[in-house]
Amino acid sequence: MGQTADVTEEDPGPVVQRILLGAELREARENSGLSTSDATKRLGWYAGKLSKVEQGDKSVTDKELAKAIDVFGIARERADALKGLAAEARRKLPPARVPEWATKYVNLIAAASELKLFFPDSFPGTVQTFDYAHAMLSGSVVVSRADVERMAEERVKRAKTLLNNEETRFWLIVGEEALHRQIGGKSVLREQLEQVRQFAESPNATVQMVPFDGGAHTCHGTSFTIITLLEGKPSIVYTEGLTGSDYLGREHVRVYNLAYDNLRAVALSPQKTLEAIERRIGELT
């Protein structure tokens, strides 16, 4: 049975504040010229704690933050903003159910200013219809049957929120297989394609398809999401497996952005992709 954890749709959640706080502290530490090990010693923290804080995986107390502000020489105005972030990062959230390892991702996409997704053989949860999501979740070996309907409904809510959100810039690249794999059957795929067509026609979204005859590209067998929370702040790369997920930063982000640029170059244009989607809808009618 898949484990579940508490998150919410409306509130991006303290994880976002933890990640932003961690990014600010890492930048301040680097500007101060301190290595992670040197900073850890001066802070009096146990080994590994600072890395967890900088990655957004651990919150800090007011006392710990005050020490970091002093050690890193953070200016008063910036320090006040960090204290606010730290307080937000310790809030509790009302419950909703998602797989435990996906908790951070659900919160991050809710707070993102830009999302870049690549899925080679299917459409991701952020754009799924109920029936398509239900069919995918029903085939999972880590999601319990009792959770399938609830999780499918939550994916629908996220898709609608994203579709109606004019502030989040959304890029989706899929492999041509996504247009042909009949997850849930012919009618379910048609309905899913009709929803993806809505995304493709949305002014804040760009949808592209990598065709079968496009040759080699940089991301065979790999799906991932690049998440930008705030303009000018570090992005995060999210990758997911059957039993867990990874959140990558720094050099990984640079590499994945280069890979995404390559995908955009080899994919069909947004207009030709839309035409391919409409043709496929016609074939499934």
Domain span at 274:
97-284
What's the CATH number where 21 sits?
1.10.260.40
Do residues 143 and 111 share a domain? yes
pLDDT tens for residues 157-212? 999 999 998 889 999 999 999 999 999 999 999 999 999 999 999 999 999 999 99
Is residue 90 within 8 A of residue 53, CB to CB? The reply is no
Q: What percent of the chain has pLDDT over 90?
A: 65
* Res. 9 pLDDT band, cuts 50 70 90: very low
In a domain, residue 9? The reply is no
Examine the domain organization and report whether 54 and 116 are in the same domain: no
Q: How far apart are CA 40 and CA 54, in angstroms?
A: 12
pLDDT in the model for residue 100: 60
Q: How many domains is the chain partitioned into structurally? A: 2
Same domain, 124 and 262: yes
Residues 204 and 121 in one domain: yes
120 and 218 inside one domain: yes
The CA-atom distances, in angstroms, between 35 and each of 2, 29, 170 are 39, 8, 36
Highest mean pLDDT (candidates 84-93, 158-167, 275-284):
275-284
Instruction: Compare 132 and 2 and report the one with higher pLDDT.
Output: 132
Say if residue 230's pLDDT is above 60: yes
Q: Are residues 78 and 33 in the same domain?
A: yes
Give residue-wise pLDDT tens across range 44-71: 999 999 998 988 888 899 999 999 999 9
**Is the domain of 114 the same as that of 232?**
yes
Distance CA 57, CA 16 (A): 10
261 and 135 co-located in one domain: yes
Q: What is the mean pLDDT of residues 69-94?
A: 85
210 assigned to some structural domain: yes
Unique residue bearing structure tokens 């996409």: 109
CB proximity list for 213: less than 8 A, separation 6 or greater: none
CATH number at residue 128: 3.30.870
Compute how many other C-beta atoms are within 10 angstroms of the C-beta atom of residue 218. 16
pLDDT at 94 over 70: no
Higher-pLDDT residue of 92 and 4 is: 92
- pLDDT tens digit string along 103-159? 677 778 877 899 999 999 999 999 999 999 999 999 999 899 999 999 999 999 999
| Full-model pTM | 0.77
Q: Are residues 70 and 105 in the same domain?
A: no
